[in-house]
Amino acid sequence: MEVTSKNFNKEVIEKSKEIPVVVDFWAEWCRPCLFLGPILEKLSKEYDGKFILVKVNIEQSPLLARIYNIVSIPRVNMFKNGEVADEFVGAMPEPEVKKWLDKNLG
């Protein structure tokens, strides 16, 4: 799901009070983002409801990039209870992303 400044509060902050929300901050010109995106999408299906995956295109939502101090992409933040619980920067291989998810999902 693509999220913008207009629906970020509802789709990320509010929903993260019920279920963890993983936010993929990306841009179309970012090659590592294009590598990481499909991995996150695949894992969101594998984890079947343990978290919600949303994508924020920083080119279309520069305000969110400023608010969350996104200076390098890809950047992935996990929101829980309305706040950033953990994050990583850069494209990681699938096994590393799984370790990160498992650590944060318990």
Catalogue the active-site residues: 30, 33
Q: Is the pTM of this model over 0.75?
A: yes
pLDDT of residue 106: 86
Alpha helices (H) along the chain: 8, 31-46, 62-67, 94-105
Mean pLDDT across the chain, nearest whole number?
Answer: 97
- Average confidence (pLDDT) over 25-52: 97
- Average confidence (pLDDT) over 73-102: 97
Give me the domains of the chain, ranges plus CATH numbers.
8-99 (3.40.30.10)
Q: How far apart are the first and last CA of the chain?
A: 24
Q: How sure is the predictor about 104, in pLDDT bands with cuts at 50, 70 and 90?
A: very high
